[in-house]
Structure 1
């Protein structure tokens, strides 16, 4: 897998890129202060050599790594944590909602990828493909909520920003001295061959609005993301607009698959994938299910049976069936 050399983006903030596939990059970040360093996310199990290169370039020894900061508990953000914690003694810091997935990888795998075995089978083939990407379970030493801070000495402080939407338990990290914002997957990929996915569409919209306000109000200068190249505040605000438009497209496509005839979750998922040119895959299935649930909660749809949905008009009556 190709990668770039480590680079210091601003004083004390280092980055390395690991190319996970032709279309999906993974950016790993290290923040260095006078009293130690913090790694933001742990990549996949096989990301360890990239992390070692990043630490070496930044002059960070194993004894200097004090914290392993998590954005969220998907497999490509926690894979090397167990090895690094055992080797360095660094403390793992995560949102309370992420703990179960970090500490119990069978639960993580089941709820992330095998959540609907009636639609996508829990097969030996799928497990063989996914299991090696999960690494080993890792104890979470510290849970942190919105506004909590991790201090690396002097002015270097990383403040937690809670950003639910992609998943429930996601954090961003604002390094105040350099005005750098480090993010996981709250700013989702919009153009991959599969849906990057999100489990809480309404909260995702709120988190995107919060990121816009945070960027402007806090004078953010640099934004570092897990799956996009780092960018200036102005470039980041443009990206937020792109992601919001994409979210509108997903919402319109999912709900546009409904009418007065009951449509199954499987039917809506497959139609959404076909219309948006995405592979039929577990992330997209969870995302479509989440949109249907929110459409029901908002009174735009009704669940009329197990995994069966109809659209509702503004007066609460079923929409017309297509001719």
Structure 2
């Protein structure tokens, strides 16, 4: 019943608008009068704006003006028809609750064809969906199971980290207490950790390489000593030649130094210290040899040559991986010379340390 009333309601204003349009189309005088009134209102309402727009756009032809006027009239009529339909719909809906207020704004056509209060509206109430307690309990049990599993994994991981940390710090304590190494905090860029001093700065050395390295923990908790791996592993070697016949005939060579097996941190530190000492020793000898060129001492290709008239003494800075003792050659004399050079460097460190610790002389005499 309500659907039929609505269709009649929509048809009634359309029929009225069609009747009005038909009457106006049949009466040219009414159309002319209406257009004249519309033009008068537009001229009164737009005045200066039309003048500015005409001046900016240019003159408009009478045909274009008439076309624009017809489109405007059609749009106004359509808007009036839609607003009348909306007003009748709201009035009919209101008449169900307040008949007096609803009939006041109804159109005569709607009052004639539709009964007052025939259209109503009610609010729909949707019953909320009931939650299944079993499903909620299942979700809770699953969440608790996942949480307990994660906590168990975290506890296992922390237990493993504690074991690794204990192993690492035990190795650090052993290195510091038992071996007497010097350790300190170090920071290189974003890397932070413990540093180990394996150089000879505290013994009086003034070499450019201070012998500092970082100590870190390996993934398994072992102590890792990380010094400069790019440093060449070389050592000082002494070779004696007989030159009485005019040719170089080897008559002795020193025992080559050997590195320890780096299966422990202690051996790695000892190897690094030995390589640094050999490097400083050869550096100091090269510096002194350049000042003793008048004594037939020359330096060429990491070899210091000392002419002893009947013998030639060569001090090499040889790679440890390619150094092998010469078979059948005596080694005692060359070993003594090589050991003496090492002792002299240690003595130089001692003198520098004593000079550094000496009390400075007074500035004025009393």
Q: Give TM-score scaled by structure 1 length.
A: 0.20
Task: Name the larger-Rg structure.
Answer: 2
Q: Which is richer in strand? A: 1
Q: Which is richer in helix? A: 2
Q: Give TM-score scaled by structure 2 length.
A: 0.18
